[in-house]
Amino acid sequence: MNLYNRYNLTPVINARGTFTPLGVSRSSTITAEAAAAALQSFFIITELQQRASEAISAWCGAPAGAVTHCVASAITLSISAVRTGLDPERIATAPNLPQVPNKVVLPAGHAVNYGHEIIQDIHLAGAEAVLAGNENGCESRDLESALDDPQVICLLLVSSRLTRGHGPDFNQAVKLAHARGLPVIIDGAAQDMRVEDLLACGADCVLVSAHKYLASPTAGLIIGKRDMVTATLAQEKGIGRAMKASKEAIIGVLAAIDERLELDIGLWRCEQDHKLKTLADRVGVIAGLTAQTLVDPVGMPFARLAIDVDANGYGRDADELASALRDGTPPIYLMEDRLEEGRLVLELVPLTIGEIDCIGDRLEELADGY
Ligand SMILES: *Cc1c(COP(=O)(O)O)cnc(C)c1O
């Protein structure tokens, strides 16, 4: 079925990464078929969550896991879980728990905006954010002074290319929180290929978007200690009702984890390198453009392509080129956070060679003289 024709929609080429306003990722046929079959079936949902927990454990070695609607909801629900535990009355009344401590410490540079402010996820749990350190960084002593407050309930860390400033060291930060009896939640939304690394620092749970590189239907995974996972899932009797995972999402997650377990990472990396080289070679012969690969700043196992635009040689500057690509047919979207430096950044992971050729063609067509 061609959805673009049937519903009058615009096909796009997404070189912007796992970007929510463009549909985030592309599921494999196996995952898409599993999710579609789930839509026509009934299940015992607790059994689906149980299987998800087993699959998550088999995948990354954590004691337990569960599926929520997405990571934004997993942040809210895991913080709410710290406030309610398994107490049914607290769960039913949250987030209005005026007697229950509610301060969540996070490094100032981890107060990211991934389409909205992460601090809003904290507020939805009836909690309040306490920023440690400043935009330049967060030292151990900044964390210690923020954590030394009886109203603090947990530490939230973010592993993302969106964080700012240096530090803190995650191992050290977890130690400081645990020394005070406080659990640690890590938002690793786009870090599914590094979950084991993130768990290794001792955090109580790591939150991952299953619809990013795992490419399942929309879903958030909470991965970690059993108590934390159970109390987070228990929020479905309270505020979690509005943030629950669908049956098709949980089945899609199971299929996507199966595929991840079978993934030949060496081969996958070669495919990614081949795509980067294909586009870099095309860019290399266009006057005014220079291509360069950029390794992922947080350690995901793939690179992105930077294209530096010399306006004199190319006939347009980076900003004009990005809008021309967006305004063409089909629209081509890329990362625009470094346009001021004259740089376009493209993520090619979900793209086909056909789409990459289309990007190369358009870069040629838009050059001065065409
Ligand atoms: C994408 C992202 C989120 C939100 O994830 P969803 O599953 O789409 O809600 C949260 N934090 C970071 C750092 C992200 O990159």
Asked if 108 and 134 touch (Cβ cutoff 8 Å), the reply is yes
Please check whether residues 273 and 349 belong to one and the same domain.
yes
For 212, the token pair is: 């990013």
CA 306/CA 320 separation, integer angstroms:
16
Beta bridge partners of 106: 131
Which stretches of the chain score pLDDT less than 50? none
Q: Is the CB of 245 under 6 A from ligand 1?
A: no
Query: Ligand 1 centre from 67 Cα, in Å?
Result: 14
For residue 312, the domain's CATH number is 3.90.1150.180
pLDDT of 354-367, one tens digit each? Answer: 999 999 999 999 99
pLDDT for 368:
74
Ligand 1 atom having least distance to the Cα of 218: 7
Q: Residue 17 falls within a domain, yes or no?
A: no
Query: Ligand 1 centre from 163 Cα, in Å?
Result: 12
pLDDT of 132-146, one tens digit each? Answer: 999 999 999 999 999
Q: Is the CB of 114 under 6 A from ligand 1?
A: yes
Please check whether residues 237 and 113 belong to one and the same domain.
yes
pLDDT for 119:
98
Query: Ligand 1 centre from 292 Cα, in Å?
Result: 27
CA 322/CA 320 separation, integer angstroms:
5
pLDDT for 1:
77
pLDDT for 362:
98
Q: What share of the chain is helix, strand, coil (3-state, %, to 5)?
A: 45, 20, 35
Last residue of a domain, one of 206, 227, 262: 262
Amino acid at 86: L
Please check whether residues 116 and 216 belong to one and the same domain.
yes
Ligand 1 atom having least distance to the Cα of 159: 13
CA 328/CA 350 separation, integer angstroms:
20
Q: Residue 23 falls within a domain, yes or no?
A: no
Query: Ligand 1 centre from 189 Cα, in Å?
Result: 5
Domain containing residue 294: 264-365
**Pairing verdict, β 220-224 and 303-309:** unpaired
CA 216/CA 116 separation, integer angstroms:
22
Asked if 26 and 350 touch (Cβ cutoff 8 Å), the reply is yes
Ligand 1 atom having least distance to the Cα of 188: 13
Helix axes 318-327, 353-365, angle to 10 degrees: 120
Q: Would you tell me how many other CB atoms lie within 10 Å of the CB of residue 143? A: 23
pLDDT for 64:
98
Nearest alpha carbon, ligand 1 atom 6: 71
- Count how many domains the chain has: 2
Q: Is the CB of 187 under 6 A from ligand 1?
A: yes
Place of tokens 């987030």: 95
Please check whether residues 161 and 62 belong to one and the same domain.
yes
pLDDT of 90-132, one tens digit each? Answer: 999 999 999 999 999 999 999 999 999 999 999 999 999 999 9
pLDDT for 370:
53
Query: Ligand 1 centre from 71 Cα, in Å?
Result: 5
Q: Residue 242 falls within a domain, yes or no?
A: yes
- Tell me the longest C-alpha to C-alpha distance in the chain: 70
pLDDT for 128:
98
Query: Ligand 1 centre from 190 Cα, in Å?
Result: 7
Asked if 34 and 355 touch (Cβ cutoff 8 Å), the reply is no
Last residue of a domain, one of 196, 228, 262: 262
Q: Residue 202 falls within a domain, yes or no?
A: yes
Last residue of a domain, one of 230, 262, 294: 262
Q: Tell me, rounded to whole angstroms, the distance of Cα 58 from its chain centroid.
A: 21
